[in-house]
Amino acid sequence: MRYNRLENAGIDISALTVGTWAIGGTTVSGRSWGKVDKNESIKAIQAMIANGVNCIDTAPIYGSGNSEIVVGEAIKHCRDKVILATKFGSFESAYKNRAIRDSRYDTVIRNCEESLQRLGTDYLDIYIQHWPDPDTPIEETMAALNKLKEDGKIRFIGVSNYTQDMMEEAMRYARIDVMQKPFSMVNQTERKLMEWSAQHGIGVMSYGSLGAGILTGTIRELPNFDEKDYRMTFYDFYREPKFSKIMELLKTMDKISIERNKPLAQIAVNWSTQQNFISTSMVGVLNLAEANENCAAYSWSLTDDEIKLLDRELERLGLVE
């Protein structure tokens, strides 16, 4: 496993982070990533830890709290070996059939206590605002995080899906240790902000590293996902014209796969984590086989020529914005 330094936090983090959105299962509003087996999820998380992964990312909105419960069970006997990150300020309302944003002071304090209970721990390593709350001043949210830090409930502060202006404002009230944004070969829209964050000592955690699974190469024909499947509601990879462009990209990845005898998923995560501004990439796992395959990616690296080949193909296909 490779490790990178989170400068502001002063800790080392594995280049791979366990992403746990999918293992949460179905939310109260009926959204999901498909079928999930709890026992398989626990085995997958524990296997990644055994392979040197030291960070797990979860959130109360993942499966309406179920993801945190599963993670808590998985790390029950190895809590001291992981950097545990969870989020706050976002939940799905079955009544309104949409996500609700709430990062008011009292809500943040309450959300933290609820997450601590579900995770079975008395502190969180990284506490992350999941989405900006347009109705709550950033100063108020940061005040709650500083209070939790002062009380020993959290160690480090993170923000997710912030703009640069929002991050600069947050930095007026608190030390921001990490940020999260989507990043993969097929989604580089936040590259500049990620580079800016790294320059300011803020650890960069990327999500969507496998493009909602499309970069694994397991899907080669336009799928017919359920309308509430997150792969259709949160991402645009499985819609035309992007889908056909990505299928062309997979052909180039296939060539590297054959030459190196490595699966496409490992090519994708290596491309992401070999970017010098990425501290760690979150990759979701559902079973033991996926866990072992993801971790094996860090036993080798793409060459400079292979990265250039992929970058040229991305440019040619118009997949770089």
Question: Exposure of 98 by Cβ count < 10 A (0-12 exposed, 13-18 middle, 19+ buried)?
Answer: exposed
> Which residue ranges form the domains of the chain, and what is each CATH number?
3-213+266-301 (3.20.20.100)
DSSP label at residue 136:
S
| Cα–Cα dist 182/83, whole Å | 20
What the block records as the tokens of 114 is 């609820």
* Residue 62 designated active-site: yes
In the DSSP assignment, the letter for residue 89 is: S
Whose tokens are 């462009």? That residue is 245
Sign of the four-CA dihedral 186, 284, 190, 200: negative
Quick: pLDDT tens for 234-271.
678 888 899 999 999 999 999 999 999 999 999 999 99
Length of the chain measured in residues? 321
Q: Could you tell me the pLDDT band of residue 34, with boundaries at 50, 70 and 90?
A: low
pLDDT > 70 fraction of the chain, expressed in percent and rounded:
92
What percent of the chain has a predicted confidence (pLDDT) above 90? Answer: 77
Distance CA 145, CA 117 (A): 18
Backbone angles phi, psi at 202, to 5 degrees: -90, 125
User: How is 172-205 classified by DSSP, letter by letter?
Assistant: HHS---EEEEE-BTTB-TTHHHHHHHHHTT-EEE
Strands, E, within 11-139: which ranges? 11-14, 16-19, 55-57, 83-88, 90-93, 98-101, 124-129
Output the average pLDDT for the chain. 92
User: Of the listed 3, 62, 123, 230, which one is catalytic?
Assistant: 62
Asked if the model's pLDDT at residue 30 lies above 80, the reply is no
Instruction: Check pLDDT > 80 for residue 186.
Output: yes
Q: With cut-offs at 50, 70 and 90, classify the pLDDT of residue 37.
A: confident
Q: What is the pLDDT of residues 286-321, one digit of tens each?
A: 889 889 988 999 999 999 999 999 999 999 999 987
The confidence score (pLDDT) of residue 98 equals: 73
- Which of 123-132, 135-144, 281-290, 307-316 shows the lowest per-residue confidence on average (mean pLDDT)? 281-290
Structure tokens given for 183: 């990043």
Burial (0-12, 13-18, 19+ Cβ within 10 Å), 240 = exposed
Comparing 24-33, 199-208, 216-225, 288-297, the range with the smallest average pLDDT is 24-33
pTM across the whole model: 0.91
Pairing of the two strands 3-6 and 11-14: antiparallel
